[in-house]
Amino acid sequence: MNDLIYIELANDQAEYDNANEIIKLGAKLEMLPDKGQQWTDDETSKIINLNYKMFDLKSEAMILFDNLLNWVNKELIDQKLDLILQYYQDEINMLHRQSPVWYQLFSDYCDELKLLEKQNLKLMNKAEFIKFYLKHQDPNTPEFTFAKAYYTYQKCAPEQYYYYF
C-alpha cells in the first residue's frame, strides 16, 4: 500500500471515531428536555457542554460534505446536476482526498439525484436523502455511521436550532 492510502485510511478512522462520538453525544442530548422547554441551569450547562463537544468533532471533511450538499441543493433549482458537479469539481476532489467515506456518501447522493432526474421524479433535498439513506443502507457500513452522525449533528447542533432537519 502506498503512503496516500495509509493517510486516507487514517483520516477516515479518525472521521469514523468522531462520527460514533457525535452519535453518542446526540443520544445524550435527546435524553434532555426539548429545545422549546424551559431548562434548569444544570440542564442548560449540560446542553451547552454536549453541544461544544459535538461542534469540536465536526471535521473539515464533514463541513465540506455539508457545504457540497447545500450548494447542490441550492443550484438544482435552475441547473442540471452534471453542470453543478463540474462547477464544484475541485471541492469534490478535495472531499475525496480528505475522506473517502464522506466522498462516497456524497457520491451516493449524486447517484440518487441522477436516477431521480433521469426518471423525471422529484429530486431529494439533503434531509430527505439522509433519512432515505438511513432507512435503506446497511447499518454495518461506515457510510451509514457517517450519515447517522451527519443526521444527528444537523438535528442537535446549536447552529441548527433554526433549521428543521
b/e string for 64-91 if b means 16 or more Cβ within 10 A? bbbebbeebbebbeeeebeebbeebeeb
Whether 32 shows a pLDDT value over 90: the answer reads no
Residue 143 vs residue 7, higher pLDDT: 143
Question: Residues 45, 70: contact at Cβ < 8 Å?
Answer: no
Q: Is the pLDDT of residue 19 over 70?
A: yes
CB 70 within 8 A of CB 126: yes
Work out the mean pLDDT of the chain and round it to a whole number: 86
Percentage of the chain modeled with pLDDT above 70: 85
Cell of 5: 492510502
Is residue 120 left, alpha or beta, with left meaning phi > 0 and alpha meaning psi from -120 to 50?
A: left
Comparing 2 with 26, the larger pLDDT belongs to 26
Return the higher-pLDDT residue of 18 and 29.
18
Residue 139 has pLDDT above 60, yes or no: yes
Q: Is the pLDDT of residue 83 over 90?
A: yes
- Is residue 163's pLDDT more than 50? no
Q: Is the pTM of this model over 0.75?
A: yes
